[in-house]
Structure formats: structure tokens, C-alpha cells
């Protein structure tokens, strides 16, 4: 599935029915299956904006959007699909203002949608654990490294991990900004943080895993050091002066875009998969409580 432009995409997904049929296929590729009792027969209830499916055995109602980034959203599927398409396009990023203009929603709605989509990009599932030759590398976002002032409020230590081909090309990337509990008083990443990161991102079956927490260690992984530098440049130029609280969301987006460039035909399908199979941890309420909604500019 590939589309040359938003117009072409919207011409294909031109109605809520087409979008909900597509969502049904993504959610139940082998036909309906009740998550409560495993039954495979359901009655559709078509009186709502989106169809509901009632399990014929236990009578539980299943919504198409339950367990997806669209759960409980009043925004139409067509708009969500267009946002997923726009985020999947490679090239530069999309901000809430442009999204609100392109899909005709309020700035606040666009902002919430982008945050939920970026959160979905960070949800690990069994498809996305790194495998094969894996390297883990410490680095930072923000203030350039200064050996005399390792700890700096404008510097945010991070870990990058990648699956490598020929020990030189990173074909799949992960970036995690370290929580302060995993940084010691010198500004170095603690081993506990490194272990957690590896458990979350690297397959236990990966054959060859090496990790270097220090940026200037002689056995540092240069391809990952380059990825970290690219992330710094991209984030600084796209989102001028990112604060700590937004960094992880943008690190997720950067990794997603990077990985998509390695597998361009996979981007849209992969994003659809993530958005429909991995329940996001954020809700509109939690987002608005955590971040102050920025003004549109």
C-alpha cells in the first residue's frame, strides 16, 4: 500500500465505512475473535457512529477502536487515518499546527493526536525487539559534550541501540532519553538504566550484543554515535530548544523515521499496525495534565 500524496490517500480512504472496514481487517485479520471468551461469532450493531460487535456467546460489546490510539476519540477515522499517513511520510516532521490545517481539526485536537501517535511509536511489541548483531551506545541530547562539566541541565543522557548489518549500517534504531533515576551524580548513565533499556529493546535471542555506556569509550559504536548526532541536529532544527518533557516523544519519532528510511515500503503499514495493536499509555486527560498545551504560532 503506497500513496504519492495526501490527496491520493484521502481519495482511497474516502468514507468512514471504508476506514472502519480497513480497521476491522487490521484488528481481526483472521476474523472476529472475542477477547473475553474466544468465541468467533459476533453480531454487528450499526446504530452508532462506528459499528459495535456483540459477541454471540458472552454478549460483550467490542468497539473497533478499543486498544488502539483512536480509543474514545470523537475525531473521525478518516482524520485519524490522514494523520497516520502524514506522520508516516518520510522527510521532515509534522507539527500540530500543520496537521490541524491539513485535516481540519482544532490545534488542540491535532496536538493530542500527534502525542498519541508518537506514544504508539514507542510501544515495544514482539515485532520490534532488536535482533542479530546489536550494539548499545550512550550519548546525549543537548549541550555539546564537555569533559569538565559532565553534568549540565541542558544535557540529557540517552541510550541508543541498533541492529547492525556488516557492523556498520544501523538498520533498526531505538533511542531512549534516560530518566534521572538512572543517571549518577557525575551525569553518567547507571548500569541499572542500561540493563532496563536492553531488556526493553533487545531480543533475548540476539546473538551478538555489546554495550558501551560512555560516549568517548574507545570501543564506542561509531554508526550509533552518528545516529545520535543526527537526532541532535534533527530535533534542534525541527523543534527549536526542546524541553526535557517532550524529548522522548521526539526521540520516538526520529527512530521511527530513521527505521522507515531503511525499509521505505514498510512505513505506513507498520505505523497502522502499531496504532491499532498497541494500546497507548497516554490519554487526553493525562497529556493535558502533564504538558501545558502550547499556543499555536
Interacting residues toward Zn ion by CB under 5 A: 34, 36-37, 39, 55, 57-58, 60
Indicate the residue among 55 and 130 with the shorter CB distance to Zn ion: 55
We find the least distance from the C-beta atom of residue 39 to Zn ion, in angstroms, to be: 4
Local structure of residue 180 (DSSP, 8 states): G
We find the least distance from the C-beta atom of residue 63 to Zn ion, in angstroms, to be: 14
| Helix pair angle (77-88, 107-121), 10° resolution | 60
We find the least distance from the C-beta atom of residue 62 to Zn ion, in angstroms, to be: 8
Where residue 21 falls (left for φ over 0; alpha for ψ -120 to 50; beta otherwise) is alpha
Go through 254-279 and write b for each residue having 16 or more CB atoms within 10 A of its CB, e for each that does not: bbbbbbbeeeeeebbebbbbbbbebe
Indicate the residue among 57 and 89 with the shorter CB distance to Zn ion: 57
Least Cα distance to 49 among 6, 79, 27 occurs for: 79
Indicate the residue among 39 and 95 with the shorter CB distance to Zn ion: 39
Q: Which helix (H) or strand (E) holds 158?
A: strand 155-165
Indicate the residue among 3 and 32 with the shorter CB distance to Zn ion: 32
Beta-ladder partners of 141? 156
Task: Report the alpha-carbon angle 237-242-246, nearest 5.
Answer: 125
We find the least distance from the C-beta atom of residue 56 to Zn ion, in angstroms, to be: 8
Alpha-carbon torsion angle 282, 286, 292, 295, nearest 10? 60
We find the least distance from the C-beta atom of residue 32 to Zn ion, in angstroms, to be: 10
Question: How far is 264 from 257, CA to CA, in rounded Å?
Answer: 9
Q: Which helix (H) or strand (E) holds 42?
A: strand 42-45
Indicate the residue among 34 and 159 with the shorter CB distance to Zn ion: 34
We find the least distance from the C-beta atom of residue 66 to Zn ion, in angstroms, to be: 13
Question: How far is 197 from 281, CA to CA, in rounded Å?
Answer: 18
We find the least distance from the C-beta atom of residue 61 to Zn ion, in angstroms, to be: 10
Question: How far is 287 from 110, CA to CA, in rounded Å?
Answer: 13
We find the least distance from the C-beta atom of residue 33 to Zn ion, in angstroms, to be: 9
Indicate the residue among 37 and 199 with the shorter CB distance to Zn ion: 37
Indicate the residue among 40 and 208 with the shorter CB distance to Zn ion: 40
Indicate the residue among 62 and 174 with the shorter CB distance to Zn ion: 62
Question: How far is 145 from 168, CA to CA, in rounded Å?
Answer: 24
Amino acid at each position: 500500500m503506497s500513496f504519492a500524496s495526501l490527496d491520493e490517500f484521502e481519495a482511497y480512504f474516502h468514507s468512514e465505512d471504508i476506514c472502519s472496514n480497513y480497521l476491522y481487517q487490521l484488528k481481526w485479520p483472521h476474523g472476529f475473535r472475542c477477547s473475553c471468551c474466544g468465541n468467533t461469532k459476533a453480531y454487528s450493531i450499526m446504530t452508532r457512529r462506528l459499528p459495535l460487535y456483540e459477541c454471540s456467546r458472552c454478549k460483550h460489546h467490542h468497539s473497533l477502536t478499543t486498544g488502539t490510539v483512536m480509543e474514545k476519540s470523537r475525531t473521525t477515522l478518516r482524520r485519524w487515518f490522514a494523520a497516520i499517513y502524514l506522520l508516516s511520510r518520510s522527510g521532515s516532521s509534522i507539527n500540530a499546527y500543520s496537521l490541524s490545517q491539513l485535516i481540519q481539526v482544532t490545534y488542540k485536537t491535532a496536538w493530542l493526536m500527534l502525542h498519541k501517535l508518537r506514544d504508539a511509536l514507542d510501544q515495544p511489541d514482539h515485532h520490534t525487539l532488536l535482533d542479530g548483531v546489536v550494539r548499545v551506545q550512550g550519548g546525549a541530547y543537548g549541550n555539546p559534550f564537555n569533559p569538565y562539566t559532565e553534568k549540565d541541565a541542558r544535557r540529557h543522557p540517552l541510550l541508543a541501540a541498533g541492529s547492525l548489518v556488516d557492523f556498520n549500517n544501523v538498520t533498526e534504531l531505538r533511542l531512549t532519553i534516560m530518566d534521572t533515576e538512572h543517571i549518577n551524580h557525575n551525569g553518567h548513565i547507571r548500569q541499572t538504566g542500561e540493563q532496563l533499556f536492553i531488556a526493553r529493546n533487545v531480543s533475548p535471542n540476539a546473538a551478538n550484543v555489546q554495550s558501551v555506556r560512555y560516549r568517548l569509550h574507545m570501543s564506542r559504536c561509531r554508526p550509533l554515535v552518528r545516529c545520535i548526532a543526527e537526532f541532535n541536529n534533527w530535533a534542534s532544527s525541527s523543534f527549536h530548544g526542546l524541553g526535557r518533557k517532550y524529548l522522548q516523544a521526539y526521540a520516538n519519532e526520529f527512530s521511527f523515521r530513521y527505521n522507515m528510511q531503511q525499509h521505505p515500503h514498510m512505513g505506513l503499514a507498520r505505523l497502522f499496525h502499531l496504532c491499532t495493536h498497541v494500546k497507548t499509555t497516554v490519554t487526553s486527560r493525562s497529556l493535558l495534565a502533564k504538558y501545558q498545551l502550547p499556543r499555536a504560532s
